[in-house]
Copies of this chain bind each other. A is one copy, B any other.
Amino acid sequence: MTEFGWPTEGISYGGDYNPEQWPRHVWDEDVALMREAGVNLVSVGIFSWALLEPREGEYDFGWLDDVIGLLHANGIAVDLGTPTAAPPAWFYATYPQARVVTRDGTALGPGSRGMVSPSSPEYRAASARIAGELARRYADHPAVVMWHIHNEYGAPVGEDFSPASVAAFREWLRARYGSLDGLNAAWGTAFWGQVYGEWEHVGAPAATASTPNPAQRLDFARFTDDQLRACFVNERDAIRQHAAQPVTTNFMAHQSYNTDLWRWAREVDVVSDDHYLWSPDEDGHVGLALSADLTRSVARGKPWILMEHSTSAVNWQGHNIAKRPGEMHRNALTHLGRGADGILFFQWRASRSGAEKFHSAMLPHAGTGSRVFREVVDLGAKLGRLSEVRGSRVRADVAVLYDWESLWAQDLEWRPSDELGFRERVRAYYERLWRDGVTVDFAHPEDDLSGYRLVVAPSSYLLTQAAGKNLADYVAQGGTLLVSCFAGVVDEHDAVHEGGFGAPLRTALGLTVEEFLPVRPQHDVAVDLDGATVPTAAWSEHLVLDGAEVRGTYRGGPADGMPAITRHAHGEGQGWYVSTRLDVAALAPVLAAVYADAGVEPSGLPEGVEVVVRHGDAHDYVVAVNHRDEPVTLAVPGTDLLTGTEADQQHEIGAGEVAVLRTTARPQGGGR
């Protein structure tokens, strides 16, 4: 794959810019204010299909020429969108068969945010055509530095039960399995008498009387991901016929459901991500850090772009909490600390109309006199001082396993308990590591893990035999592995492994699971560790040890007196297993013991002081974010790039403040 230069000088800064919502005179004000704010990159045209192609095959690029010209004249680069997330009303009217159909058979029409069926041949043709026309026209425009294909693939809809989708799924299955015998075996159709005798009888998992076949649903999730990605590739290749700028599309990291970002990241030239805080979560900045680390990890460590976040509240959650003064700076710099070389927002100017008028923007309804706009200008100035950070890399000693296939599988119906969720466990383990000041990468279970001291597997319900062997080898060669409950249960077809629950992990962990023992909500259950007792809930397991030593024991509940936490020495390393759902606080003593095994050092800083190091060719940069209500002192010699302050030994970071320290000394905590 071609290596592309970064699209802007220094750190990219800006947001989605939708000038078509405003009269021409506002554009001039916009670019003047963008300059004031230090904006150097905007995404244009993301929802403009109906304006660019007002009737099928008739194009109107004049206004876009003007906008791009105006931006260019003001030194602002353009990330040019293909507008294919917003098929025009004429497309829906001309090709009603292209509409997405829900599981229950309702066809979804226009008048909202898209989307039509990713399997529709008419949509594939039309989207490649508009993307190609744009590429032809703007291939050589000096302002256009990047292509932004579509928008948030998989949202707001992923799965589609239209006839086109069903037909494509059948072809996909035929390619995957070759024969009906293969499909019948993979799906276990002998159960409940679902054996297929003709390809034409195989369909999507639409409305049925009871629970659909889980392997069919899992394959439909894979198919959905593949179809969406095929739409991306379809447009990318259409652009490549004319244009050479790098291509991206905006991911949604930990909020991504329908897209397996390990696969997607291979197809883009630059990884970019959208992230929004979740209002009910008072510690939303932990989820933010998680998403940033996940984004960097799917990018395999390369710098990435935060394509969208918000200056303050969003509008699509039930009760949308606004950011408090300073919070946007902490958010933006956390992304940067975790590898983002671009900080962009949705959107430049708040829309007066439409479904998202209550979404905050760089320029809010309250105008330039507002707190938000002042902070936007201030952030632009700060980022301007961080140009040298661009291109530096984050390194981690710890990997957290993350696999969208396991997420899809665990979410299927009729699991032993609704109380165990893929994302909940990933967040809990991540948050423990975050509070301990340990920098992590995410990794796929079949990745080469040899570079990590510790591998944590919070949610590995689906785990292939190959992944199990990979983990066993990792341990044998000296790694420390920590696996959370309900792991290694099924294979790639959602079939229980031969050998029982956890069979692929038996070598690494020295145990298997005889039976799952969910705990009634009204029952008190705890785990006795060495000298400590921590509460637990919801879930326990009946373990059968095969070499592992007991490190924690259940007190109360259905597994009373049985092993809860184990450690297994295997080869040069050790495999830990936590068979219950510990919360973030209860995980602390467990992780402390695991760190000791692995040789991982927590930062030693107070909880809520977030420190990450970016390693550059000449310097290391410590990005420190103080989420606490009091100042903290950091023992790092160097220069604070944001303030210019230099200090020999230590820097004080005020309550709620951020520092970016250029240093050559190895900093406290925050990754190696």
Contact = CB atoms under 8 A, between A and B. Distances in A.
B366 A111 contact: no
A353 B100 CA distance: 30
Question: Which of the listed residues A192, A196, A279, A354 has the most CB atoms from chain B within 10 Å of its own CB?
Answer: A192
Nearest to A324: B558
Interface in A491-505: 493-496, 498, 500-501
A214 interface: yes
A316 B418 CA distance: 10
Contact of A47 (B89, B92, B192): B192
Interface in A504-520: 512-518, 520
A366 B208 contact: no
Contacts of A213: 111-112, 354-355
A234 B417 CA distance: 40
A166 B113 CA distance: 20
B355 A416 contact: no
A207 interface: yes
A112 B197 CA distance: 16
A515 B100 contact: no
A107 B114 CA distance: 25
Given A417-B318, A417-B320, A352 B495 contact: yes
Given A50-B195, A212-B111, A416 B320 contact: yes
A649 interface: no
Nearest to A360: B515
Contacts of A351: 188, 191
A407 interface: no
A209 B414 contact: no
A364 B192 contact: no
A418 B195 CA distance: 43
Contact of A207 (B106, B187, B214, B315): B106
Interface string A459-498: 0000000000000000000000000000000100111101
A113 B352 CA distance: 41
A355 B110 contact: no
A370 interface: yes
Contact of A366 (B196, B360, B417, B515): B515
B414 A316 contact: yes
11 contacts: A47-B193, A50-B194, A114-B209, A188-B352, A210-B355, A319-B518, A355-B414, A358-B414, A358-B416, A366-B501, A372-B515
Interface stretch (A198-206, A288-296, A331-339, A623-631): A198-206
Nearest to A538: B319
Interface in A80-122: 83, 85-86, 88-90, 92-93, 100, 102, 104-115
Contact of A364 (B54, B100, B369, B515): B515
Contacts of A30: none
Interface string A533-560: 0000010001010000000000000100
Given A107-B105, A313-B516, A354 B418 contact: no
A357 interface: yes
Contacts of A321: 518, 520, 558
A106 to B, nearest CB: 5
Interface residues of A, number: 121
A250 interface: no
Interface string A306-342: 0000001101101111101000000000000000000
B113 A211 contact: yes
Contacts of A193: 47-51, 83, 85-86, 88, 114
A503 to B, nearest CB: 9
A49 B189 CA distance: 12
A18 interface: yes
B100 A157 contact: no
Contact of A210 (B112, B212, B415, B417): B112
Contacts of A263: none
A57 interface: no
Interface string A345-364: 00000111111111010001
A215 interface: yes
